[in-house]
Amino acid sequence: MRTLRLIFTTLALTILLSGFQPAYGQAKGPNPVGLRPDAPTYAVHGPFWVGARDMTMKTDDGEIYLTVWYPALNPDGAAEEITYTLSPFAKDFPTIQKVKGHAILNAKPATSGGPYPLIVYSIGQATPHQWEAHMAEHLASYGFVVLAPDPRGEIPMGDFWQGAYYRPMDTVRMSQLAESLTAATGDLPGLINMDKIGMAGHSSGGWSALTGSGAQMNLGGCPVNPSQVKDLPWYSDCSTFLPHQNDLAKMFGLKAVPDGLWPPKYDSRVAAVAALNPDGDIWGADYSGVGVLKVPTLIITGTNDQFNPPEHAAYPMYDHVGSVSKSLVTFENASHFIPVASCEDMPGVAELAGADTCSDSVWDMNRAHDLLHHFVTAFMLDTLKGDKDAHKALLPDAVAFPGIDYKTTMK
C-alpha cells in the first residue's frame, strides 16, 4: 500500500509540475524581468527564448549584412549571452568590433509557436545594426521575427546620399528575404507570418521605417545653399542630395528626376511603423507626402535631441502622418542616443566616439531602454497580433511615467 501511495504521489506531483513547464518543449522558461526592478509590463523579458543568426543577402547591387532574431528553443537552459562580431561594415573601427547581447547564437527555432509576425528594424546613419540589438532581442522574446540590416552607402560619410536609395529599397528587400527564409526550402521554414509586417527604426532608420511603410522623399523643397537652412544643424540639411539627384533617379530605375514626391518603395503588407528619433529634413521630408502613410504609427523622440530636433522632425511627422491611429512618446530632456546600446555593452564605442553616443546626461539608459521596450513591444503586439491587453497599455489613462509626455489618437 505504501508503495502504491508513493507511485500515485509521484504521478500527481509530476502532473502538477508539468503545468509549470513552458510551452514548446522548453526545460525552463526565461526569467520575466526587465533591466530594472521598476520595468513596466512589456519591458520584462517575454515568454520566448531568443535565437540569433547572422546572414548575408546577395542583391543585384551588392551584399546586405544582417542579423535575424527569433523565438527559440532552449532545452538545455543555455544562458542568453552573445557577443556580436560586427560585419565588414565596421572593419575600419577595430575597437568597436564587438557588442554584448542577450541571445543564443544559432539556436533552434521554436517552430511550434509560429508563424510569427515579421518586424524589420533599421539602424541609424552609418551605424552597425548590432548597436541596437537589445530592441530586436526584446521583440523576439515576445514572439516576433526581427530582421535588421546594416545600412549601405553611408560610409564614408561624404557619400551618405546613397542611403536615400538603399534605405527604402533594403527595407523592401528584407521582406523579400523573409519570404525565402520562411519558405519550405528556406533556412527558417514556416517560422514567419508574412501577412502583417512591422517597420521600426532609429534616427535615419526611423525615416527608413516610414518610407518602408509608404512615406515618400521630396527634394523639391531643399535649399540649394546650406546657409539657407536656419536654426538647424548641418546634418539636417537635405541639400546634400541635390547634386546627386540624377544618380539617385538612375539607381531607382527612373527615367527622370521626379518633380516633387519620389515614387514610394514599400511593401503593402506593412501594418505598423515605429519611428524612434526619426530623421525628416535630412531626407527631404515632405510632410504632406508622409500623409500617404495610413498604418498605425508610433513616434518616439526626446526634447534634447541634438541631431533631429523634434520641432523639425517628430512633431510635424505626428501632426501630418495620415494614420487614424497614431501615438507620440516624448522623453523629457533625452538626447538622440537613448535607443543605442549602453556603453557597458559596447565600451569600444565610448572610447572611439565618446560616452555621449551610448549614454544620456539625464536618463539612466536601463530605464530609458525599459520604457522603449515597453512602448514598442506593446505597439507591435497590438497592431500585429491584436493583443487587447497591449492595446489597453497604450491608452492615455494607462501611460503615466515620470519624464514621459504622451499623445495618442488611440481609443
| DSSP conformation letters of 139-168 | HHTTT-EEEEEPP-S-SSGGGGGGHHHHHH
The burial of 406, by beta-carbon neighbours within 10 Å (0-12 exposed, 13-18 middle, 19 or more buried), is given as middle
- pLDDT category, 109, cuts 50, 70, 90? very high
Amino acid at 304: N
Kindly tell me if the per-residue pLDDT of 52 is higher than 80: yes
404-408 and 326-331 strand pairing: antiparallel
Taking the C-alpha atoms of residue 182 and residue 118, their distance in angstroms, rounded to an integer, is 11
pLDDT at 18: 35
CATH number for 30-408 (one of 3.40.50.300, 3.40.50.1820, 3.30.1370.60, 3.40.50.720): it is 3.40.50.1820
pLDDT at 287: 54
pLDDT at 320: 86
Look at 87 and 329; give whichever has higher pLDDT: 329
Taking the C-alpha atoms of residue 391 and residue 42, their distance in angstroms, rounded to an integer, is 11
Q: What are phi and psi of 104, to 5 degrees?
A: -110, 115
Taking the C-alpha atoms of residue 397 and residue 387, their distance in angstroms, rounded to an integer, is 18
Tally the residues of the chain.
Answer: 411
Q: Where are the beta strands (DSSP E) in 74-186?
A: 82-85, 98-101, 104-105, 116-122, 145-149
Kindly tell me if the per-residue pLDDT of 193 is higher than 70: yes
Average pLDDT over residues 5-12: 36
Kindly tell me if the per-residue pLDDT of 176 is higher than 90: yes
- pLDDT category, 89, cuts 50, 70, 90? low
The tens digit of pLDDT for each residue in 247-282 reads 999 999 999 999 888 888 999 999 999 999 998 755
Look at 295 and 351; give whichever has higher pLDDT: 295
Kindly tell me if the per-residue pLDDT of 302 is higher than 80: yes
- Lowest-confidence segment of 94-98, 235-239, 329-333, 398-402 by average pLDDT: 235-239
pLDDT at 3: 39
Domain ranges of the chain: 30-408
pLDDT at 105: 97
What single-letter DSSP state applies at residue 49?
Answer: E
The tens digit of pLDDT for each residue in 355-407 reads 888 999 999 999 999 999 999 999 999 999 999 999 999 999 999 999 999 99
The tens digit of pLDDT for each residue in 64-74 reads 999 999 999 99
What single-letter DSSP state applies at residue 260?
Answer: S
- pLDDT category, 81, cuts 50, 70, 90? very high
